[in-house]
Amino acid sequence: MRKIIVAVDGYAATGKTTTARGVAETLGYLYLDTGAMYRALAWYLHQQSFTEAEIERLKPDVLEKFALHMEPEGCELVAWVGERRLSEELRLPEIARLASVISTLPWVRAYMVQEQQRLGQKGGMVVVGRDIGTVVFPEAPLKVFFIASLEVRVERRYQELRQKGLPADREAIRQALLERDYRDETRPISPLRPAPDARLLDTTCLTIPQQIERVLSWVKPLITVPAISFPYSP
């Protein structure tokens, strides 16, 4: 069977991360959440007391000491910065907001895209983000773009934070999602949009198992056909 790149893009809180992880586990693929890479940089800058208002004074040389490496744990590639393994701290609202801001910087995106392409060069990976099908892996045989109603997204994020014991306020979540959507859709570099050949997946009324099954139904025909039918070059 072929090992391909499954490119997963879409809006926050649409279920794409959990679904992509489930698809990777089923296929025996690696799972990469590229957002974790941006959040790792946000965490690193937050540790140095950078704020959103100060991002404009950032220079590319900050990456020289940013020792990011993605290490496999089971099917998932986990973010490390130096000797620090990062997990739940990457989901803190302040880190997510800062990551959204720094992801608009062209030199940050160039660095991340290069690293993501390196990680996925052998295929066999489900990659999640907001420009995977359009910029990082435009030749991926399968591109899926997740959408869902705002109300459902707010409730999903609210429940996620509550389950993790983190502060959760629906109105604050709503505003954060709207602000993130606007920044992602209007940024000049790699704006959030589906690739022309992406399959749209509206998860508003779908459970996670249903989402996983839907994506697998699109993957299976692609990994059982001759590789020559879908040339791939990262």
Lowest mean pLDDT among 15-29, 172-186, 208-222: 172-186
| pLDDT tens string 121-140 | 999 999 999 999 999 999 99
Amino acid of residue 12: A
Q: What is the mean pLDDT of residues 1-9?
A: 95
Which helix H or strand E contains 47, and what residues bound it?
A: helix 34-47
Confidence band of 191 (pLDDT split at 50, 70, 90)? very high
- Burial class for 45, CB neighbours closer than 10 Å (0-12, 13-18, 19+): buried
* Closest to 144 measured CA to CA, from 124, 123, 130: 130
Q: Are 212 and 22 in contact (CB under 8 A)?
A: yes
- pLDDT given for residue 227 in this prediction: 52
Q: Dig out the tokens for 208 from the structure.
A: 């996670």
Average pLDDT score over the chain: 93
Lowest mean pLDDT among 15-19, 21-25, 78-82, 165-169: 165-169
Superfamily of domain 5-217: P-loop containing nucleotide triphosphate hydrolases (3.40.50.300)
* Rounded CA separation 113/106 (Å): 10
Cα-based distances in Å from 149 to 32, 42, 131, 134 = 25, 28, 20, 23
Confidence band of 153 (pLDDT split at 50, 70, 90)? very high
Report the Cα 50 to chain-centroid distance in Å. 23
* Rounded CA separation 51/42 (Å): 9
Q: Dig out the tokens for 31 from the structure.
A: 């799972």
Residue 198 DSSP symbol: P
Considering only residues 97 and 33, tell me which one the structure prediction assigns the higher pLDDT: 33
* Rounded CA separation 100/122 (Å): 28
What residue segments make up the domains of the chain, in order of their start? 5-217
| pLDDT tens string 37-58 | 999 999 999 999 888 888 878 9
Q: Are 192 and 177 in contact (CB under 8 A)?
A: no
* Rounded CA separation 125/231 (Å): 16
Q: What is the mean pLDDT of residues 13-42?
A: 97
pLDDT beyond 50 at 188: yes
